[in-house]
């Protein structure tokens, strides 16, 4: 009788011990629940104000500069509610992700890396500003003497441009429109110059001066003279930066005077000013739900954090603007998600697929099979949390009303040579004022995956172009 009972008991014990649900206890971390951030009054420190004196040109040139970054919601009306601002952010984000994806599709169809005379890839590479979604901006002095204006910083764009008078058509911006006639350092670029030929689709006026045009996927565009000018970042002047002086700027541009392109292309600010700053820059984006202090961007040797872990930069031969990384997998609760393999993120020879990191996209998009595997693993690990209805692009949401802290399974992104463990607030975020929180990833039917700025919050993200690598330093905003 005892023998007959012992067999099924032993079998049950073995079954339970081998069951995946019980084989490895999941790792959890605490999420302190914060509400949606409220718009706050924008203020610049004295160091960032226009009243600072310029440095003595005879002094040794500075090789490091640092400026504040502010989120675009700081330029929004204080009458806007947190719920309204967040809804608008997701709308901008959807447009942003679509146009970045469209840019890659266009590049993949081309047989050459640049298509001169046919609009070029700059016609489809949409900056955040073009969608009204330039997420982070700073204040930069333009010309000599410097006239300070808000400029969007965007790692998904190359060409630097500003609105210029006289305006054929200009959108409303927060500062007076720049007048090149009042600057002693403004200089036009001739049609035959090597600088003009760097444009994808340069034009020429009847005075043989170079013209530029950047068109965006939503029909927005900027058009005007291609020129060189001095830019001032706090006390530091950077001379002879090629930029578009836009006299006709139409579309969904909002608030800022123009755009400082931080992409990988040869006309981006990091490439133009690279030698002076060692071809290195970094930024740290604060969690706006937890802190009202500004984010920052640093150019130069000080941009590289000693605590950063690095992954190699990859190159898309069809499109040189974006920063591609090698994502090999993800873990939830300390366990590698089996459905997420390196092959899902491969950049193929035609320029399709791959993973880019982007400051202007908010929500990380993963190619659909990878997202579904990640989502299901997170749902299983968060089974104790009360589910809530889907919200916008988010299909995994929770009702955390009445709670101040919760335990959530950890999430780690595995890059080639670097494991990036995300704080809980970088993947479970508030979406309304009623206590609803959602898993801040989304799926995409495109082969292109995008690492967004919600997942980058709190890290100092290092763009070491000299070393052809990207770094992530936790607690980088401290």
DSSP-derived pairing of the beta strands 364-367 and 441-444:
parallel
> What does the DSSP assignment read for 94-133?
HHHHHHHHHHHHHHHH-SSS--TTTTTGGGT---TGGGT-
How far, in whole angstroms, is CA 310 from its chain's centroid?
A: 18
348-396 per-position pLDDT tens digit: 988 899 999 998 888 999 999 999 999 999 999 999 999 999 999 999 9
**Choice among 158, 320, 358, 464 that is catalytic:** 358
Q: Which residue has the tokens 């929180």?
A: 437
pLDDT recorded at residue 56: 36
The confidence score (pLDDT) of residue 134 equals: 55
pLDDT of residue 125: 28
pLDDT above 70: percentage of residues in the chain: 78
CA distances from 464 to 61, 65, 106, 110, 251 (A): 21, 15, 28, 29, 34
Amino acid 294: pLDDT: 67
Tell me, what's the pLDDT at 289?
54
DSSP string covering 395-430, please?
--EEE-TT-SEEEEE-EEEEETTEEEEEPGGGTEEE
Task: Catalogue all structural domains in the chain, each as residue range(s) with its CATH number.
Answer: 28-33+305-473 (2.40.70.10), 65-106+122-285 (2.40.70.10)
Specify the pLDDT at position 118: 31
Cα–Cα distance between 17 and 308 in angstroms, integer? 39
Which contacts (CB < 8 Å, 24+ apart) does range 202-210 have? 202/226
Distances (CA, A) of 69 to 73, 140, 403: 12, 11, 32
End-to-end Cα distance, the chain: 68
The predicted-structure confidence for 223-269, as pLDDT tens digits, reads as follows 999 999 999 987 789 999 999 999 998 875 667 888 899 999 999 99
* Phi, psi of 323, deg, nearest 5: -100, 110
pTM above 0.75, yes or no: yes
Given the residues 154, 158, 200, 320, the one annotated as active site: 154
Can 175 be counted among the known catalytic residues?
no
pLDDT computed for residue 21 by the predictor:
44
**Per-residue pLDDT at 132:** 40
Listed as ranges, residues in the chain with pLDDT below 70 are 1-23, 37-64, 67-79, 110-135, 216-219, 252-254, 287-294
pLDDT, tens digit, 9 for 90 and up, residues 47-68: 444 433 333 333 334 466 776 6
């Amino acid at each position: 009788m005892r023998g007959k009972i012992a067999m099924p008991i032993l079998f049950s014990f073995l079954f339970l011990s081998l069951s995946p649900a019980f084989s490895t206890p999941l790792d959890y971390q605490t999420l302190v629940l914060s509400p949606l951030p409220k718009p706050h009054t924008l203020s610049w420190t004295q160091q960032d104000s226009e009243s600072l004196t310029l440095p003595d040109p005879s002094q040794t040139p500075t090789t490091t500069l640092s400026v504040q970054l502010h989120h675009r919601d700081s330029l929004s009306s204080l009458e806007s509610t947190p719920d309204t601002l967040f809804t608008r952010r997701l709308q901008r984000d959807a447009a942003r992700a679509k146009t970045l994806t469209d840019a890659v599709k266009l590049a993949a169809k081309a047989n050459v890396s640049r298509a001169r005379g046919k609009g070029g890839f700059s016609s489809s590479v949409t900056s955040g500003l073009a969608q009204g979604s330039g997420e982070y901006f700073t204040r930069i002095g333009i010309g000599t003497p410097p006239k300070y204006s808000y400029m969007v910083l965007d790692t998904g764009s190359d060409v630097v441009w500003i609105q210029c008078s006289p305006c054929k058509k200009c959108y409303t911006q927060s500062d007076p429109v720049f007048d090149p006639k009042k600057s002693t350092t403004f200089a036009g670029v001739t049609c035959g110059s090597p600088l003009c030929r760097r444009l994808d689709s340069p034009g020429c006026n009847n005075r043989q001066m170079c013209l530029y045009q950047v068109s965006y996927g939503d029909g927005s565009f900027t058009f005007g003279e291609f020129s060189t000018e001095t830019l001032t970042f706090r006390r530091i002047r950077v001379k002879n930066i090629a930029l578009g002086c836009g006299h006709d700027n139409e579309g969904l541009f909002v608030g800022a005077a123009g755009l400082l392109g931080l992409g990988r292309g040869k006309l981006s600010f990091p490439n133009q000013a690279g030698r002076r700053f060692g071809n290195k820059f970094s930024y740290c984006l604060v969690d706006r739900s937890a802190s009202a202090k500004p984010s920052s961007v640093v150019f130069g040797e000080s941009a590289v954090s000693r605590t950063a872990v690095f992954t190699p930069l990859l190159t898309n031969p069809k499109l040189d603007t974006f920063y591609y990384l090698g994502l090999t997998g993800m873990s939830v609760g300390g366990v590698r998600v089996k459905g997420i393999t390196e092959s899902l993120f491969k950049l193929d020879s035609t320029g399709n697929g791959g993973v880019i990191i982007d400051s202007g996209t908010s929500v990380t998009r993963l190619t659909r099979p990878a997202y579904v595997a990640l989502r299901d693993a997170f749902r299983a690990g968060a089974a104790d949390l009360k589910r809530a209805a889907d919200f916008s692009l988010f299909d995994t949401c929770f009702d955390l009303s009445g709670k101040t802290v919760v335990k959530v399974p950890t999430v780690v992104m595995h890059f080639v040579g670097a494991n990036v463990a995300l704080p809980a607030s970088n993947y479970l975020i508030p979406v309304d004022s009623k206590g609803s929180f959602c898993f801040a990833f989304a799926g995409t039917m495109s082969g292109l995956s995008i690492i967004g700025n919600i997942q980058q919050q709190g890290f100092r993200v290092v763009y070491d172009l000299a070393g052809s690598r990207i770094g992530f330093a936790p607690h980088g905003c401290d």
